[in-house]
A and B are shown apart, each in its own frame.
Chain A
Amino acid sequence: MISTKSLSRRGFLNMGVAAGAGYLLPKTGLISPAHAATPLAPVAEEDAHIAFGHTGPTSDEGWTWAHDQGMKAVEAAFPKLRTSYVESIPYSADATRIFRQFVADDANMVFATSNYGDFLYDVANRAPDVAFYECDGRSPLENLGTFYLSHWYPSYVAGIAAGAMSPSGKLGYVASFPVPSVYSGTNAFLMGARSVNPEATLQAIVINSWFDPQAATQAGTALIDNGCDVLFGIMDEAGYLQVAEERGAKAVMWNTDLRRYGPNAYISSIIVDFKDFYVEQVRRRLAGEWTPTQDLLPFGNGVDVDAWGESVPAEVAAKADAVKASILDGSFNPFVGELKDTKGNVKVAKGATMSEQELYHWNWSIEGVSGLDS
């Protein structure tokens, strides 16, 4: 059992050791503090203002909903502080305006639940007293930390079930942008599928949005038309699951349990949970302990596979569960070479293990994935 407090950056490290997964430790970057900063001054709970900037609507039943649950957990843990949030922030200069508005509104801590890059850094640089967190971020500052999820492990496990349940061996993926979380998600999923069906392939369609139910639905339809019979993706809502249900295909989802939208199609979901992380970071901020961290919420606490769908055969579920257990207990790591890219170049040598850092920054497709690398 992992305590709430252990979820700090150091906690994450401890957790890794505790889990006995010594090789999961990143070689560089993620464990060293980005900056030897002094902690920000403490804030009285009743004076505190914690702001959340979301990429989608909190009603999406997915990614933004999960972050919103995190905010509610913060409100429950610290009832006297003030929270505020803005939904559907575009990836444009408007994002800067919104984050600046938070600062102007005396926010002590700002969580950006997606990668807003420079739009956020421009604000953070000019507000040194405010703590910032950027989800999926990559450039820490003295007052800006990053956090994300080791979602490649549950993606691999879900991939095992997908591979076993795909007669054609053709998997489909509804992608937002060709960014590392999409590369790691597609690669891990296909690797899982290939562990049961070495011939499996994966086709991705990029729709240039994290939340666009109509485009996601169209992409799902196109993938099924192309012969894919199991869909995966990184959408914040249930669009392509409904397509799979209608067309008799299967689907693996992200964020939350969405089986009610497609009980027959539902295999599982990459479940995310930010509650403990948010509560812990707010606690540190209020207590005057906060320095920026770079966290990857680990498999099993923060990110997990959902309970299997009703159409998943027992033996498939058992097989996937066994692999999950072996990953969690450290006896097995799926991300070991040899791995080739789509052009056949060896990118990870035989026997070499990919570091957490490499998995987080994965920006190439393995052989068998199409639609991302041009």
Chain B
Amino acid sequence: MSSRIEILNDGGFRSDGRKQYELRDVLIDLSQQGTADGSAQISHGLTQVLVTVFGPREAKMRSHTLHDRAVLNVEMSVAPFSTGERRKRSKADRRILEMASMIASTFEPVVQTTLYPRSQIDIYVHVLQQDGSLLPACINATTLALITAGVPLHDFVCAVTGGVHSTSPLLDLTTVEENDIPHMTVAVMPRTQKVTLVTMETRLHVERFRELFELACEAGQTIHKEMKLAVKDRTVVLVGAMDAGLKGVAVDDRDRDVVMEDRI
């Protein structure tokens, strides 16, 4: 563990000018992507992930279905230009496979799969840019994509990373910070305040873990507010468009008819 870069300076600022508990900008785009039933693009600072959801639909392979609930199929691809160093990762990379299976098992108890027996929900995760907190970005984007696809969920799933620099906890880490300090990812369900996913790969004392864990749970609630706002905004736009559309189409048709008749 090298510490050439100052993670937290004397003024209490981090390498990118944030405070200890400050999250990066969260930008959410819920616009339609191609033929997908639902899609969401989320960026946490410079980390950007696009998730598209297809389904619930009939499975391509009949043998992969379950008779009493839907199957979640998560496929993840990492763009070669997503990191500073251009490197092509194969889809069979163990790290990517593990992340995809983590996303699938996180959402299995959250999605009400029992409503769609013998069907399949495809979740395609595309990583466009990486700058730390990759798994949380994927999870948050997947939640939003499932919501825009109209798949019934028990609750949101909001994820965030946390790290500890000597004794001071930090939230929402960048790649630089992730490489240097112990960090973990926590995914919470804000309504029930329960934790669906915890992962940590680096050494950390139990007491520090406790502190960070509680902090990350709290940060999850903040992310939730942001996500809820985005969903609400989109719904308002959609409902508005529906109203305007109904009226607009009627007026348009009449106008067009006149024009057509004129031409004839």
User: A and B bound?
Assistant: no
Which residue numbers of B lie inside 8 Å of A, CB to CB? none
Binding site for B on A (CB under 8 A): none
